[in-house]
A and B are shown apart, each in its own frame.
Chain A
Amino acid sequence: MAAEEIDVAYVAQLATIRLTDEEKRLFQRQIPVILAYMNKLRSLDVTGIEPTSHGQPVYNVLRDDVPEPGLDAERVLANAPSRLGAAFKVPRIMES
């Protein structure tokens, strides 16, 4: 599981980002250096230590399920790069 194993092109695919060849070469050189630095954490034994996932411990914050007005649809749709009536228009997602 050496850090140097990162395949930037593959991870970019997981992240849905298209990188240029130049960006791939740059990251393939830089990111293993960053990961090698991060590997210093491996020297710490964390057996039995609970993970901290948030700045303050709050759990299961619930509210009553009461309908309330949301954002105005027209103002939200005004930001759409492409729209069709009251919908966001995107390239076809299913075969016709």
Chain B
Amino acid sequence: MDIGSMTVRAAVDGLRARQFSSVELTRAVLDAISAGDGVIGAYTWVDAADALKQAAAADAARAAGATGLLLGVPLAIKDILNVEGQPCTCASKILTGYTSPYDATVIARLRAAGAVFAGRTNLDEFAMGSTTENSALQVTRNPAAPDRVPGGSSGGSAAAVAGGMALAALGTDTGGSIRQPASFCGCVGLKPSYGRVSRYGLVAFASSLDQIGPMTKTVEDAALLLRVMAGRDPHDATSLDRDVPDYTAALTGDLKGLRLGLPREYFVAGLDPEVARRVQEAVARCRQCGAEIVDVSLPHTEYAVATYYILASAEASTNLARFDGVRYGHRSAVPATTPIEMYLNTRAEGFGLEVKRRIILGTYVLSSGYYDAYYSHAQRVRTLIRRDFEEAFKRCDALLTPVSPDPAYRIGETADDPLKAYLIDIFTVTANLAGICGLAVPCGTTDAGLPVGVQVLAPAFAEGTLMRIGHAYERAREVRP
């Protein structure tokens, strides 16, 4: 069994037809991890015995007549989502020793559909970063070029899927953390609309921006997984009560009648010429599939990165206040005579440099005297950015853009200049600020063989439109290479 080419759809069909069992399939995934992950470093944790036990239970359930949509399908999970009985490190030393006492809602839904949780994948600490280099645990390498980063923060999930060590994975996306690593590694990544998927059991980074989404080999697989993951959850008041359609029904294969916008602010100087060329080729393919292409403007794009880093850092500084060494995770062994001393020592030892930098930045923009100038002002600019998209979507059904200005960076290339590292998120943070949905689909490689992704953006809760476009493009690309 070749895990590198196997999709979730193929696994579901093969399991249903009894061509192979979940134990055989899960063993093949575990073998692929054993063979490949020594170099790539995608997984932070794998428990082979437990995965095979879950797989055997799925096989027994099938033998007894069970028919879950994902019955027996092994998945990789970003190490920031709680899976009962598994560690959840967030790639931080501060969660050393923590075992999840419960399932995140997405995990509970996937479990109810029969999924097997085979392993956990690396990330930038608490999802803060765009290269996975901020992990306190290990380096993850890009399967297409092992001297390069996989992108981030869901770099482990992207590397596992693109590196043939997972059928599919879950990632999380606060400012591009699903779409950018998918683009860097060459897989599909979907950031659902804010409120589409429950965040309960996702360790919070920036609560007004975070979403959980699938990272897969095909758009169809993303559609299959989202159907299971999406929907209102009483445990997350921000999850919305909207119908969850069968997204695979949207995969018609053509784009007739759709109008796709090219935001001129996303095709500018600073965009790598090879990335620009691959994205323009993708635009041409979409036109061949029947879409009408129009120019649109998102005039506040240049303010998006500043807005994002003010709001995300502010929310992070409050969310991460809970890591104090009292209830779980690391507690400093330095003797403390007061709780405050214990907090200070624990947080000094437990958090990495980027997390500390963002907590300081976030605390500052929320502090008395600066709140209005930074935080409150940025919330208002966020409204302007949201309105940009509302205006653009009056003229088109979806937007086509690059995912990232560059292909994957060399390991260490962006490490010394935090502002430069933040600016590479320019094309992805806008979707989180506006609450809309976004999809990254592979659109070829550079001459050096580095994957490039095209981003499709659609209005909130128009995931069906995203998938229709992504799927039609994917097919057109395969038929006419």
Residues of chain A at the chain B interface (Cβ within 8 Å)? 1, 6, 8, 11-12, 14-20, 23, 26-27, 30-31, 33-35, 37-38, 40-42, 44, 46, 49-56, 58, 61, 63, 71-72, 75-76, 78-82, 88, 90-93
Contact = CB atoms under 8 A, between A and B. Distances in A.
29 contacts: A16-B340, A17-B344, A17-B359, A18-B344, A19-B348, A19-B356, A19-B360, A27-B360, A34-B309, A37-B305, A38-B365, A40-B302, A50-B383, A51-B376, A51-B380, A51-B382, A52-B386, A53-B208, A54-B238, A55-B194, A56-B194, A61-B237, A71-B101, A75-B101, A79-B98, A80-B326, A81-B326, A82-B331, A88-B327
B83 to A, nearest CB: 14
Contacts of B343: 16
B231 interface: no
Contacts of A40: 302-303, 306
When A and B form their complex, which 4 residue pairs have the shortest distance between CB atoms, in order from nearest? A55-B194, A55-B435, A51-B379, A81-B331
Contacts of A82: 331
B95 to A, nearest CB: 10
A50 B380 contact: yes
B328 A37 contact: no
Interface of B: 97-99, 101-102, 193-195, 208-209, 211, 234, 237-238, 240, 300, 302-303, 305-307, 309-310, 317, 321, 324-331, 336-345, 347-348, 351, 353, 356-357, 359-361, 363-365, 367, 369-370, 373-374, 376-384, 386, 418-419, 422, 432-435, 460
Question: Do most interface residues of chain A lie in helix, strand or loop, or is the interface mixed?
Answer: loop
A91 B336 contact: yes
Given A14-B367, A19-B348, A38 B309 contact: yes
Contact of B328 (A30, A51, A72, A81): A81
Contact of A55 (B208, B234, B365, B380): B208
Contact of A16 (B97, B321, B370): B321
Contacts of A93: 338-339
A72 B380 contact: no
B317 A90 contact: no
Contacts of A81: 97, 325-326, 328-331
Nearest to A14: B363
A12 B351 CA distance: 13
B333 to A, nearest CB: 10
Contact of A1 (B330, B369, B384): B369
Contacts of B211: 55
A1 B373 contact: yes
Contacts of B345: 18
A29 B444 CA distance: 40
Question: Do most interface residues of chain B lie in helix, strand or loop, or is the interface mixed?
Answer: helix
A78 B100 CA distance: 10
Given A1-B373, A76-B101, A31 B360 contact: yes
A79 B238 CA distance: 28
The interface centre, meaning the residue of B300, B330, B364 with most chain A CB atoms within 10 A of its CB, is: B364
A41 B98 contact: no
A56 B435 contact: yes
A58 B103 CA distance: 25
Contacts of B309: 34, 38
Contacts of B310: 38, 41
Contacts of A75: 101
Given A17-B347, A23-B356, A38-B309, A56 B380 contact: no
Contacts of A61: 237-238
Contacts of A79: 97-99, 101, 327-329
A58 B328 contact: no
